[in-house]
Amino acid sequence: MYLLLDLGNSRCKYLLSDALPVVVVQSSEENELGSWDNQSFNQDFWERQLQRFQSKKLSKVFVSSVAGKERKEWLEAMCQQVLGLTPLFAESTDTYVSEKLRRLSNSYDSPMALGVDRWLAMVGAFELCDTEFVVIDAGTAITTDWVSVAGQHQGGHIVAGGRMLQQSLLGGTGGIAWSASHDGELKGESFGVNTSAAVALGAETMIKGYCGQLMKDIADQAETKAVKLFVTGGDGDFIVTCLQEAMKERQLEYSISYQPHLVLKGLSYWFSLNN
């Protein structure tokens, strides 16, 4: 069996599969899907998580990781110790050739500098459609990547996600943090009537504003009217709602597909077809 890990900043998603690539990422007789909170990468906690796979007769461990070199080395040692396998880490590349022999091209001058989670999400979306598309990954950071009909990556955005926006205020401004520490429950609907609510609602408003501007930019610059939007990440549900509201305001009718495991899908295709 194959173990695929999507290691993010706060959570790790996993997929156990009998075969690659995984066309439909969901739990079934052939696949097991799950996740866990990283728990600040506590050694004992991670050992327990990996021990669940000791009886699965694994042949390979494939990893998408946004962590730095030290964290990758740490995970490599953990997998060797607990599973007896050295994990293989995906990397962003200059091109990816799809199952239908279409070519996805990286826009970065140094392809490996593009976050591998962004690249694999594009790979996953590329296998799902043959038209122009945009991928929005709503995790700790919100990343957006636009790909043309011809498969050329046009570039993207990286902005702080909701929790990061709030943490930057609460962690970087003593007065706001002090005020928030004296709040009870969040109070307010559009405007907060205590500091915690003001910070949370302010972050939501900023993300809604970003989604509105994104829809405007896509409408102004897209090659066709058949652009598909793929949304993934832990805050994907909220982003879908924001995009729908923005499209309604601008009378746009783009297709939105919520794909919570898009990176795992891309990881399975990347190692199956291009590695």
140 known ligand binder: yes
118 known ligand binder: yes
Place of tokens 């066709």: 224
250 known ligand binder: no
Distance CA 37, CA 13 (A): 9
95 known ligand binder: no
159 known ligand binder: no
117 known ligand binder: yes
Residue 22 sits at φ, ψ, to 5 deg, of -95, 105
Distance CA 269, CA 267 (A): 5
Residues in the chain, how many? 275
71 known ligand binder: no
User: Do 39 and 69 contact (CB within 8 A), yes or no?
Assistant: no
Q: Which two tokens stand for residue 193?
A: 């009537």
Q: What residues act catalytically? A: 117
The candidate with the shortest Cα–Cα distance to 209, out of 246, 235, 237, is: 246
Place of tokens 């970087």: 172
184 known ligand binder: no
137 known ligand binder: yes
Q: Which is it for strands 95-97 and 141-147: parallel, antiparallel or unpaired?
A: unpaired
Query: Residues forming the annotated binding site for substrate?
Result: 108, 115-118, 195
Query: Residues forming the annotated binding site?
Result: 6-13, 108, 115-118, 137, 140, 195
Query: Residues forming the annotated binding site for K(+)?
Result: 137
Query: Residues forming the annotated binding site for ATP?
Result: 6-13, 140
